[in-house]
Amino acid sequence: WRNAMLSVFCSPNRYTQGKNATGVLGQEMAGLDLEGPALIVAGKSAIRQLTDTWKTTLADAKIEHVVFPFGGECSLAEIERAKTVARQHKAQVIIGAGGGKVLDTARVAASDLALPVVNCPTVASSDAPCSALSVIYTEEGTFQEYRFLRKNPDLILVDTQVIAQGPPRLLAAGMGDALATWFEANTCVAGHVRNMRGGASTRSALTLAKLCYETLLADGAEALRAVRNQVVTPALERLVEANTLLSGLGFESSGLAAAHAVHNGLTIAPATLDYFHGERVAFGLLVQLVLEGQPQSVLNQVLTFATEVGLPTTLAEIGLTQLSRELLERIANRATAKGETIHNEPFEVTPDMVVDAIRAADDLGQCWKKQN
């Protein structure tokens, strides 16, 4: 009884989303007793679009702030640079504003300094913002490690007006990340394996993961059209919530499986680094479905959706046009490394099985393209 696995559900303290939400950032922070000075770790487009709004909203809440321009990679060196600037300015809170790597950097820096953190994603390109987890990469962009943090962010603030101005491809990449959530969560729950916080999943987490998948199928294509036209629509609002909140809660509180492990393996191939996290995850999901021997009806549904929103379904579409046997084996070895989430599958997974599944998934995608 004492060794029984407890169910653990984790989530951010508050999630706020909507058009022009940046305008209430100071008010939201004040409402949560978050005080300045604030260090804003920010990507280029966030600085370009939001500098004036930050000045107004944070001044209204009497929160002093300084901006730290993000260097481009969530690496240990970049995290240390952010921490140094935070100490210099005696920051009492760290705000991350930008894409997934910006937010990952802000979360680790805040955690190391024992400071509260606010995440303001400017793209809905991954499910990172809500989690107490950051993905650390080398300076060259190869996956290095998952860093587990003590707590989830204090505030997530998603401005859909900003997201509507972003590249449509980034929104689609977020759908690729979110597409895997339900399948990975389902595998973990069925196998009674531990989630990202070391506990069992709750029914609510699995239900949110399922809602995430259903929302993608229902609203994905229409949300993508909204971003192409740079407009905020109800479909975009629902889709952004799926990419950010539902996927985030689903993966962290239910768990990851083969799709993300294959993604991590793919990052050792330099050619894949020109592609986004969610694009590599989308192909990783096909590999997972092949590994698990999922029925054709499931594969068809995933392939139909991926094609509709422009997600990769072949190796060529993530840069691997010439894939040598040696590189394929290295990818498979990395995907099956000790501690990888592929070992959450309900059977033993060997590198050889992954090699076969990658080739089969690629063939599946190619045949699908010819037929459709």
- Which of 127, 159, 219, 260 is the catalytic position? 260
Q: Is 219 noted as a catalytic residue in this protein?
A: no
CATH 1.20.1090.10: which residues of the chain? 168-371
Residue carrying structure tokens 């971003």:
227
Q: Is 65 noted as a catalytic residue in this protein?
A: no
Name the pairing type of β-strands 143-148 and 117-121: unpaired
- Which of 104, 154, 219, 277 is the catalytic position? 277
Ranges of residues in the chain with a pLDDT under 70 are 1-4
pLDDT in tens, 251-269: 999 999 999 999 999 999 9
- What is the pLDDT, as a whole number, of residue 127? 84
Under a CB-based contact definition with an 8 Å cutoff, are residues 37 and 92 in contact? yes
- Which of 177, 343, 356, 363 is the catalytic position? 177
Under a CB-based contact definition with an 8 Å cutoff, are residues 216 and 242 in contact? yes
Q: Is 89 noted as a catalytic residue in this protein?
A: no
> Domain 15-164 class?
alpha beta
Q: Is 260 noted as a catalytic residue in this protein?
A: yes
List the 38-42 sheet strands across, edge first: 15-18, 155-159, 117-121, 93-98, 38-42, 65-69
Under a CB-based contact definition with an 8 Å cutoff, are residues 95 and 38 in contact? yes
Q: Which ranges of 191-324 would DSSP assign to H, the alpha helix?
A: 203-228, 234-241, 247-254, 258-266, 277-291, 296-309
Task: Name the helix (H) or strand (E) containing 370.
Answer: helix 351-371
- Which of 127, 154, 159, 263 is the catalytic position? 263
Distance CA 88, CA 70 (A): 17
Q: Name the superfamily (CATH) of residues 168-371.
A: Dehydroquinate synthase-like - alpha domain (1.20.1090.10)
- What is the pLDDT, as a whole number, of residue 4? 64
Environment class of residue 88 by beta-carbon count within 10 Å: exposed (0-12), middle (13-18) or buried (19+)? exposed
- What is the pLDDT, as a whole number, of residue 1? 36
CATH 3.40.50.1970: which residues of the chain? 15-164
SS3 93: strand
